[in-house]
A and B are shown apart, each in its own frame.
Chain A
Amino acid sequence: MNSSSENSTALEVHDLCKSYKGRPALRGVSFTVSRGEVFAIVGPNGSGKTTTVEILEGIRRHDGGTFRVLGGSPSDLRVRESIGVQLQDGEVMQNLRPLEVLSLFRSFYPRGLEPREALDRVSLDPPRRTLVRELSGGQCKRLLVALAIVNDPELVFLDEPTTGLDPAVRRDVWEIIRDLRGRGKTVVLTTHYLEEAERLSDRVAILDQGEIAALDSPAALVGNSGLAGTIVFTFETEVPGLAERVAALFPGAAANGTGARVSSVRIEDDLHRIFELGRSAGTSVRDLAVHAPTLEDVYLSHTGRAWPGEESAAELR
Chain B
Amino acid sequence: MASGLRVVGKITGSLLRDEIRSPAGMFWMLLFPAFLFVLFGFLFGASEIRAKSFRVGVDRTLEFSSETSASVLRKALTASPIIEIAWTDEALGRRLLAEGQLYALVTRSAGEGTYTVLITEKDKPFGTVLSSVLERASVDSVRKLFRGSSPFDYRMEVLAVDGRPLTYLYFLFAGTLGLSVMLNCFFAIPQTIIGYRRQGFLKRFACTPLSRMHFTLGLVLQRVVIGLVQIGLLTVTGALVFGLRFAAAPLSFLPVFLVGTAAFAAAGFFLAGVLSTVEAAVAVAQILAMLFLFTSGLFVPVELIPHPFDYLAVANPVLYFSRAVFSSMVLGRGPLEMSVDLGALAAFFGGFLILTVITFRYERMP
Residues of A within 8 A of B (CB): 20, 57-61, 77, 80-81, 83, 85, 87, 89-96, 100-101, 103-105, 107-110, 131, 147
Instruction: Tell me whether B204 and A90 are in contact (CB under 8 A).
Output: yes
Closest to B366 in A: A60
Instruction: Tell me whether A89 and B18 are in contact (CB under 8 A).
Output: no
Instruction: Tell me whether B18 and A109 are in contact (CB under 8 A).
Output: no
Instruction: Tell me whether A90 and B19 are in contact (CB under 8 A).
Output: no
Contact of A104 among B14, B20, B209, B365 (CB under 8 A): B14
Known A-B contacts A20-B366, A95-B18; the reply to A85 vs B2 at CB < 8 A is no
A-B interface, 3 closest residue pairs, ranked by CB to CB distance from nearest = A95-B21, A91-B199, A90-B200
Flag whether B10 is at the interface (Cβ < 8 A): yes
Contact of B1 among A83, A110, A131 (CB under 8 A): A110
Closest to A111 in B: B2
> How would residues 1 to 23 of chain B score, 1 for a CB under 8 Å from any chain A CB and 0 otherwise?
11000110011001101111110
Instruction: Tell me whether A91 and B200 are in contact (CB under 8 A).
Output: yes
Instruction: Tell me whether B208 and A105 are in contact (CB under 8 A).
Output: yes
A91 neighbours in B (Cβ, 8 Å): 199-201, 204
Instruction: Select the residue from B1, B7, B208 with max chain A CB neighbours within 10 A.
Output: B208
Flag whether B206 is at the interface (Cβ < 8 A): yes
Instruction: Tell me whether A107 and B204 are in contact (CB under 8 A).
Output: no
Sample of 18 more A-B contacts, CB < 8 Å, known A59-B365, A83-B207, A109-B2: A59-B206, A61-B365, A90-B201, A90-B204, A91-B199, A91-B200, A92-B204, A95-B17, A95-B19, A96-B18, A96-B21, A101-B14, A107-B2, A107-B10, A108-B2, A108-B208, A108-B210, A110-B2
B258-286 contacts to A (CB < 8 Å) = none
Instruction: Tell me whether B10 and A61 are in contact (CB under 8 A).
Output: no
B206 neighbours in A (Cβ, 8 Å): 58-59
Flag whether B203 is at the interface (Cβ < 8 A): yes
Instruction: Tell me whether B203 and A59 are in contact (CB under 8 A).
Output: yes
Instruction: Tell me whether A109 and B208 are in contact (CB under 8 A).
Output: yes
Alpha-carbon distance between A92 and B200 when the two chains are bound, in angstroms: 8
Alpha-carbon distance between A87 and B20 when the two chains are bound, in angstroms: 27
Instruction: Tell me whether A80 and B22 are in contact (CB under 8 A).
Output: no
Instruction: Tell me whether B365 and A60 are in contact (CB under 8 A).
Output: yes
Instruction: Tell me whether B14 and A108 are in contact (CB under 8 A).
Output: no
Instruction: Tell me whether A85 and B209 are in contact (CB under 8 A).
Output: no
Distance of B10 from chain A, by nearest CB (Å): 5
A107 neighbours in B (Cβ, 8 Å): 2, 6-7, 10
* Interchain Cβ contacts under 8 Å between A and B, 20 examples: A58-B206, A59-B207, A59-B365, A77-B1, A87-B204, A90-B203, A91-B201, A91-B204, A92-B204, A93-B14, A93-B15, A93-B196, A95-B22, A96-B17, A100-B14, A103-B10, A107-B7, A108-B208, A109-B2, A110-B1
Count A-B contacts at CB 8 Å. Answer: 83
Contact of B204 among A61, A85, A95, A110 (CB under 8 A): A85
Instruction: Tell me whether B22 and A61 are in contact (CB under 8 A).
Output: no
Alpha-carbon distance between A7 and B282 when the two chains are bound, in angstroms: 51
Instruction: Tell me whether B14 and A147 are in contact (CB under 8 A).
Output: no
Instruction: Tell me whether A131 and B21 are in contact (CB under 8 A).
Output: yes
Distance of B233 from chain A, by nearest CB (Å): 21
B365 neighbours in A (Cβ, 8 Å): 59-61
A90 neighbours in B (Cβ, 8 Å): 199-201, 203-204
Instruction: Tell me whether A104 and B10 are in contact (CB under 8 A).
Output: yes
Contact of B209 among A81, A89, A93, A131 (CB under 8 A): A81
Instruction: Tell me whether A93 and B11 are in contact (CB under 8 A).
Output: no
B6 neighbours in A (Cβ, 8 Å): 107
B20 neighbours in A (Cβ, 8 Å): 95
Instruction: Tell me whether A96 and B14 are in contact (CB under 8 A).
Output: yes
Distance of B13 from chain A, by nearest CB (Å): 8
Closest to B6 in A: A107
Closest to A104 in B: B14
Alpha-carbon distance between A85 and B7 when the two chains are bound, in angstroms: 19
Closest to A61 in B: B365
A105 neighbours in B (Cβ, 8 Å): 208
Alpha-carbon distance between A20 and B366 when the two chains are bound, in angstroms: 8
Alpha-carbon distance between A104 and B2 when the two chains are bound, in angstroms: 12
A60 neighbours in B (Cβ, 8 Å): 365-366
A110 neighbours in B (Cβ, 8 Å): 1-2
Distance of B101 from chain A, by nearest CB (Å): 49
Instruction: Tell me whether A87 and B2 are in contact (CB under 8 A).
Output: no
Contact of A87 among B10, B18, B21, B203 (CB under 8 A): B203
Instruction: Tell me whether B10 and A85 are in contact (CB under 8 A).
Output: no
Distance of B252 from chain A, by nearest CB (Å): 34
B11 neighbours in A (Cβ, 8 Å): 104
Alpha-carbon distance between A10 and B201 when the two chains are bound, in angstroms: 26
Alpha-carbon distance between A89 and B14 when the two chains are bound, in angstroms: 21
Distance of B15 from chain A, by nearest CB (Å): 8
B190-234 contacts to A (CB < 8 Å) = 196, 199-201, 203-204, 206-210
